[in-house]
Amino acid sequence: MPRSLIAIHHPNSYDPSVEGEEMQREWPSTPMNNQLTRRDFAIRAAGFGLALGLAPAATLAGTQQGSRSETSPAVADPYSLVDQELLPVLKQFPAFDLSAEMVGKFRQLPGLPPLPAPAPQPVERHIPGPPGALEVRLWVVDPAPSEKSKPVLLHMHGGGFMMADPRLMPRLQEIATDCHCVVVSVDYRLAPETRYPGSLEDNYAALKWVHAHATELGIDRSKIAVGGESAGAGHAASLAIHARDRNEVPIVFQLLIYPQLDDRTGSTRAAPPAIGRFMWTAGANRFAWSSLLGVPAGSSSVPAAAIPARVASVDGLPPAWIGVGSIDLFVEEDMEYAHRLVYAGIATELLVVPGAFHGFDLLVPDAEASKQFSASWKAALRKAFAAGKGL
């Protein structure tokens, strides 16, 4: 029986010890002889963490008790909250505390290569960066190079503002194929080497470039969407806000997959007992936001313009799809942001998946909840492109 999905429709700063950004800019060029399944991708990604010698998740009760004691009382069995189909893989995944050292190790992990043809192949492009900055690298995936006036998704990868996504290439190819759109993914500069607004300006430079080069890319300027996962979805939400304010490039839709929207989550706003126990914790969130902002997460010195949840007004933003798991650390901030959009009269769809943790769809892509989740955001993106003006 299909699991229920909640749906709403409506008209402290630190001194980094990691290496420089070059670690995240290398990509393996060895082709794959056989196409891997989505489950293979997830298992291989989980293996990356195990290869680092991290503690197995079976020790979660002991290893995470201390890191969460300041935010919520203990839950007797955190695993009892998890969707049963997601549970076996989750228990194999390592638990860890995010640190500068850990970020450095993750940056050195090899990324998954692209799926072989006939999947559309990623093409590397370099465009002018923001004033005074280096070029910005893009990955362009076009499912139908001979066609004109295609829609485009400007994509921003996840990774807690500090890391790349090792599953990026197959994911871009899947979106391009399933949604029949050009996908342009931005290799924005990472924190803590680059603080806000560096990554925002990289993403905005990419937005302007896509708009200016529509003919070359074979896209329709009136069908530009922005989106991403986790930190990338937070970047997408921020980009939509700044594009509205600068009024240079119209955005038709924002695809926000468990977006990281509020630096106060896990710092000045404690997480409830059932939330944020797996994959991305309150401690990781504080570390990530502080790395991006250069000031302690949740503090009064945070620039409000850097945080989608702190922006005074959401009026005039494009329609949105927001999806998150019910035990994801971001569930409250994502629901609150969706409520603000709805209240402002912006067509918004919100999905909350029962028993799902952060990144569940990537870790267990064949689970029924994951398939429903992916089908929902893909359908919303296709609908937005077909309408030309979102939901």
Q: What is the CA radius of gyration of the chain?
A: 19
Alpha-carbon span 242 to 248, nearest angstrom: 10
Alpha-carbon span 205 to 203, nearest angstrom: 5
| The one catalytic residue among 155, 235, 242, 358 | 358
CA pseudo-torsion sign 270, 275, 278, 279: negative
Contact criterion met (CB below 8 Å) for 52 and 45: no
| The one catalytic residue among 83, 157, 187, 230 | 230
96, amino acid identity:
F
DSSP code string of 110-166: PPPPPPPTTSPPPEEEEE--STTS--EEEEEE-S-TT--SEEEEEEE--STTTS--T
Stated as kind and residue range, the H or E segment containing 321 is: strand 320-325
- 370 as an active site residue: the answer is no
> Phi, psi at residue 187, to the nearest 5°?
-90, 70
- 358 as an active site residue: the answer is yes
Query: What token pair was written down for 77?
Result: 């069995």
Beta bridge partners of 225: 153, 253
- 15 as an active site residue: the answer is no
CA pseudo-torsion sign 191, 194, 197, 201: negative
DSSP code string of 225-261: EEEEETHHHHHHHHHHHHHHHHTSS---EEEEES---
| The one catalytic residue among 165, 187, 328, 334 | 328
DSSP conformational letter for 222:
E
> Phi, psi at residue 293, to the nearest 5°?
-90, -25
CA pseudo-torsion sign 40, 42, 43, 45: positive
| Catalytic residue set | 230, 328, 358
